[in-house]
């Protein structure tokens, strides 16, 4: 008999009671049906053979049967687990070693030795005498020959017992514990021995063996049973029998037999382990972890390992101390991360739930470790045309783990109690008669609309949670950004991979399917490429229609407007387009001002949007109101404008995003949440009307019994229209007679917020959102960006750091960063007030807003425009170029520059 078999025999001797063995026929009685090809008695005997094969093995040191304990490939099972597993092997008709013979001889010789109390034999361990007394163990039979069993089995049993007697208590611990699962008590003992006696080998060996195989690691730190062992045992046995009667015995037995992980015990044990110098065990542990990653990947692919066991392995591994050491980075951690990528969606969801519920204190450490792993890899690796970052498993593996951690952080944080969603709006695109002819060359519009259903993250769907549900995540969303990674990603390549993943999942890796790790600037660039692909698709369709003899359509969305009638002209053209062929809204926008020469390369469009926003959001226009406290604009619930007008305003906002133009719009955050599909709730009042929010919050926090007298508030509210007239609304039927009390104050607050943010502007906002979706319905806007990021996409950054602009500015025409006029220019700019700085941006770029990512992403150029003269500076807003004459003095430069930026609107811009 090999040592492995002896170890298994010794460690399970006291557990293999007759109750466990005899429970196998009881389960079989419920499992077997009349349709089995064997007789009932023969089936019982066969399952008993599987039972002993799993526990004791066949005794062949060269056994290669993975279902035999002698082979070393079988999992270490308790008797109850072996009984359940034996039933599954019976149904699978698994391989059975010929030398295995079932017998009911007790495999524990109580007179030979007594196991040490410190030995870890599992939560169900009791001494032999206690087992005999409580469980009525059958008296060992002197021989199996009387039962017709081969005599060789009895001889092997005697040899096994004799050999076992040669081990003393210490030897027993060394043999048994080497392959036994880790427990908190065992870690304490091994660490103390290592620190006191400088004996690092037992600790290193125990960690190495536990972490080298998933079958061992999955059963480490198993949760302890209730102190009332008898009742728990009976309940568990009853549950096992009831579960085994279902139509899917394998699934039910797995769910009952799967060990439950005690995460708190694991964390305490590893905190104690951190006291031991890492050089005592790190080398062996790193090698074991690398082996673990390989085994996990292989076993998950072949479905040899259950999801529960795999998740337990990952939870334990990421609780290890010093996980951020360089050895883990270079050798072990990448393989473990790749193995998590092999988990099915249900397994990833299970891991996210465990992390969110039991491992909150570890989330920060895991995040920093993974971010460091990605950053070091990205910085040290030279990516090129034949090796992109999307193909680097050392980056994509940790990124997949970050997704699980991302949703765990959402689940562990504060979730929105509001589950109300905006009603879906279906945009029906007009049927193109040429689609039947050209459908093989470009996708028909009817197919494009189905794209949205493929943008949802499968893990989010499985967890039943989304980013919109999160009010405050456990870890800030910004901490998931990885700037080094965002800088090296070629977004045009990633967009191709993204489209491939959408149509054929699991074929490629795309970081745009993991947008939480990308900065807003990177995702903005990804959205830009996505939108450009759609623009080119529409332009190509126009050319194809012309090629088959149809009337040549316009490849661009062309708007020709008059400055004096800007709103009227723009809305009339957009209304005609939206009615005749809404797909034209997805073409690239080109704006022309009547009576003005110039080609729109982006600068004219910027000015158009700037001017139209100023007029539309003017309070005199009557479509929007201004909140005095927050300086935000809001929909006028008593507006006289038609729904079509609000639809066209939504189109304008969508066109701005679609054409990568930043607008000076001051919407509260709730607008962007509503645009992405979530209705407003009480928490959204915080930036919509801070004074009202604080007043209602004080009401919710008031605990006195006299709330009714103190606030004297009924379910009838008062608000003002755009003209300042007081308007009244009853939140409930007969609301003026219902006072707010401690019992109904939460209902009052929710109804109040719902009325202000949803009910009162339902007509206006629905029309506005419809226009917005007419442009962006096929865009992955909601998949890439959170509401806060959409606001930045629309309005730009709020940080005006002109020192960043100075560092990133390029020079042309003979200027350099050390030229005197350049230094004078920046000295003047830094001394300007914020309002003049905005005017400078307006003059040079066509917009007074900071682009996403900051002024360093502006691609600003200062070019020499001749020698000293009296001319004012000019600008090419399409290319962000400032044409600056080389003035002789600083005062002259300042005078000409201020005049240019203050009197430039509609003049000097190209």
Half-sphere exposure of 787 (CA within 13 A, CB side): 21
Q: With beta carbons less than 8 A apart as the criterion, state whether 389 and 378 touch.
A: yes
Q: Name residue 187's beta-bridge partners.
A: none
Q: Are the CB atoms for 845 and 805 separated by under 8 Å? A: no
Whole-number Å distance between alpha carbons of 347 and 340: 9
Buried b (16+ CB within 10 A) or exposed e, 706-724: ebeeebebbbebeeeebee
**Cα gap 893→651, rounded to integer Å:** 42
Interatomic CA distance for residues 244 and 238, integer angstroms = 10
Q: How far apart are CA 327 and CA 369, in angstroms?
A: 12
Q: Where are the alpha helices (DSSP H) in 166-213?
A: 169-177, 184-197, 200-212
* Rounded-to-integer distance, Cα 125 and Cα 225, Å: 11
What phi and psi values does residue 673 have, to the nearest 5 degrees?
A: -65, -40
Closest CA to 462 of 349, 355, 374: 349
Longest Cα–Cα distance of the chain, Å, equals: 121
Pairing of strands 624-626, 633-635: antiparallel
Nearest to 606 by CA among 590, 584, 582: 590
Q: What span, in angstroms and rounded, lies between the C-alpha atoms of 887 and 804? A: 25
Q: What DSSP line would sit under 831-852, residue for residue?
A: HS-HHHHHHHHHHHHS-SSBPT
DSSP state of 305: S
Phi, psi of 253, deg, nearest 5 = -65, -40
Burial class from Cβ neighbours inside 10 Å (0-12, 13-18, 19+) for residue 547 reads: exposed
Which among 119, 120, 122, 124 has a CA at the least distance from the CA of 134? Answer: 124
Cβ atoms within 10 A of the Cβ of 691, count?
A: 12
CB 195 within 8 A of CB 276: yes
Residue with tokens 């608000």: 719
Contacts for 82 with CB less than 8 Å, ≥ 6 apart: 20, 51, 54, 55
DSSP SS3 for 205? helix
Task: Locate all alpha helices (DSSP H) within 302-416, ordered by sequence.
Answer: 307-317, 326-327, 333-341, 345-358, 360-380, 393-412
Helices and strands per DSSP (H, E), number in the chain: 41, 12
Residue ranges of E strands in 10-64: none
266 is catalytic: no
The CA distance from 808 to 890, in Å, is 23
The angle at the Cα of 261, spanning 18 to 270, to the nearest 5 degrees, equals 120
Structure-block tokens of residue 711: 């606030």
Contact between residue 522 and residue 852 where contact means Cβ atoms under 8 Å apart: no
Q: Which phi and psi (to 5°) does residue 884 adopt? A: -120, 115
**What is the number of other CB atoms lying within 10 angstroms of the CB of residue 325?**
16
Q: Tell me, what DSSP letter sits at residue 526?
A: H
What tokens appear for 143 in the block? 């021989």
CB burial class (10 A; 0-12, 13-18, 19+) of residue 377?
buried
Active centre residues (catalytic): 878
């Amino acid at each position: 008999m090999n040592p492995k078999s002896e170890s298994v025999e010794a460690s399970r001797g006291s557990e293999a009671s007759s109750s466990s063995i005899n429970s196998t026929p009881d389960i079989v009685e419920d499992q077997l049906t009349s349709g089995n090809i064997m007789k009932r008695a023969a089936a019982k005997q066969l399952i008993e053979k599987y039972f002993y094969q799993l526990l004791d093995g066949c005794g062949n040191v060269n056994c290669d049967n993975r279902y035999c304990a002698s082979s070393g490939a079988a999992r270490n099972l308790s008797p109850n687990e072996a009984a359940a597993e034996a039933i599954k092997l019976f149904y699978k008709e698994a391989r059975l070693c010929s030398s295995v013979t079932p017998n009911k001889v007790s495999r524990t010789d109580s007179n030979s030795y007594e196991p040490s109390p410190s030995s870890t034999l599992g939560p169900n361990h009791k001494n032999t005498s206690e087992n005999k007394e409580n469980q009525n163990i059958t008296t060992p039979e002197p021989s199996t020959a009387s039962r017709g069993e081969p005599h060789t089995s009895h001889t092997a049993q005697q040899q096994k017992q004799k050999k076992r007697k040669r081990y003393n208590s210490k030897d027993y611990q060394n043999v048994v514990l080497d392959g036994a699962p880790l427990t908190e008590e065992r870690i304490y003992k091994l660490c103390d021995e290592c620190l006191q006696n400088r004996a690092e080998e037992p600790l290193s060996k125990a960690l190495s063996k536990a972490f080298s195989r998933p079958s061992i690691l999955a059963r480490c730190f198993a949760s302890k049973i209730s102190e009332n062992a008898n009742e728990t045992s009976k309940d568990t046995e009853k549950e096992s029998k009831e579960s085994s009667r279902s139509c899917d015995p394998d699934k039910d037995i797995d769910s009952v037999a799967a060990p439950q992980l005690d995460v708190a015990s694991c964390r305490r044990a590893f905190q104690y382990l951190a006291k031991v110098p890492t050089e005592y065990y790190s080398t062996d542990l790193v090698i074991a972890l690398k082996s673990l990653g390989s085994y996990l990947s292989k076993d998950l692919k072949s479905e040899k390992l259950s999801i529960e066991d795999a998740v337990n392995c990952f939870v334990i591994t990421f609780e290890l101390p010093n996980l951020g050491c360089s050895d883990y980075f270079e050798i072990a951690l990448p393989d473990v991360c790749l193995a998590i990528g092999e988990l099915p969606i249900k397994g990833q969801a299970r891991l996210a739930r465990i992390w969110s519920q039991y491992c909150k204190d570890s989330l920060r450490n895991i995040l920093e470790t993974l971010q460091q792993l990605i950053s070091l890899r990205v910085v040290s690796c030279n990516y090129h045309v034949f090796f992109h970052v999307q193909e680097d498993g050392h980056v994509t593996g940790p990124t997949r783990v970050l997704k699980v951690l991302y949703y765990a952080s959402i689940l562990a944080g504060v979730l929105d109690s509001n589950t109300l969603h905006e009603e879906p709006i279906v945009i029906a695109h007009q049927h193109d008669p040429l689609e039947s002819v050209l459908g093989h060359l470009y996708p028909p519009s009817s197919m494009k609309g189905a794209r949205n259903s493929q943008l949802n993250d499968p893990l989010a769907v499985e967890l039943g949670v989304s980013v919109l549900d999160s009010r405050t995540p456990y870890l800030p969303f910004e901490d998931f950004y990885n700037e080094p990674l965002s800088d090296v990603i070629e977004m045009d390549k990633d967009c191709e991979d993204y489209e491939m993943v959408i149509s054929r999942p699991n074929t490629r890796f795309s970081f745009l399917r993991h947008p939480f790790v990308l900065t807003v600037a990177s995702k903005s660039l990804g959205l830009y490429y996505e939108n450009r692909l759609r623009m080119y698709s529409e332009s190509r369709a126009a050319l194809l229609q012309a090629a088959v003899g149809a009337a040549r359509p316009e490849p661009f969305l062309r708007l020709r407007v008059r400055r004096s009638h800007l709103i009227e002209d723009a809305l009339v053209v957009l209304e005609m387009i939206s009615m005749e062929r809404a797909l034209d809204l997805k073409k690239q926008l080109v704006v022309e001002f009547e009576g003005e020469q110039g080609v729109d390369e982006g600068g004219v469009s910027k000015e158009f949007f700037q001017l139209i926003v100023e007029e539309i959001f003017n309070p005199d226009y009557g479509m929007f109101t201004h909140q005095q406290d927050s300086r935000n604009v809001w929909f006028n619930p008593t507006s006289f404008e038609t729904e079509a007008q609000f639809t066209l305003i939504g189109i304008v906002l969508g066109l701005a995003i679609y054409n990568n133009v930043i607008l000076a719009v001051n919407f509260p955050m709730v607008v962007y949440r509503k645009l992405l599909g979530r209705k407003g709730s009480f928490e959204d009042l915080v930036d919509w009307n801070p004074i009202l929010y604080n007043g209602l919050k004080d009401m919710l926090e008031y605990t006195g019994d006299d709330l009714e007298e103190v606030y004297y508030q009924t379910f009838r509210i008062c608000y003002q229209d755009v003209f300042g007239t007081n308007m009244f609304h009853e939140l409930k039927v007969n609301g003026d007679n219902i006072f707010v009390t401690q019992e109904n104050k939460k209902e009052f607050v929710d109804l109040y917020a719902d009325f202000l943010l949803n009910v009162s502007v339902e007509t206006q906002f629905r029309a506005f959102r419809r226009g917005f979706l007419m442009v962006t319905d096929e865009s992955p806007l909601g998949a890439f960006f959170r509401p806060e990021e959409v606001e930045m996409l629309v309005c730009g950054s709020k940080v005006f750091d002109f020192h960043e602009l100075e560092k990133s500015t390029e020079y042309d025409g003979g200027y350099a960063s050390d030229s005197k006029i350049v230094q004078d220019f920046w000295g003047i700019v830094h001394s300007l007030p914020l309002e003049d700085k905005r005017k400078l941006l307006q003059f040079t770029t066509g917009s007074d807003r900071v682009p996403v990512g900051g002024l360093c992403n502006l691609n600003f150029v200062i070019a020499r425009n001749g020698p000293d003269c009296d001319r004012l500076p000019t600008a090419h807003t399409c290319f962000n170029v400032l044409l600056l004459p080389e003035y002789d003095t600083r005062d002259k430069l300042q005078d000409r520059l201020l005049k240019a930026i203050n009197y430039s609107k509609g003049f000097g811009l190209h």
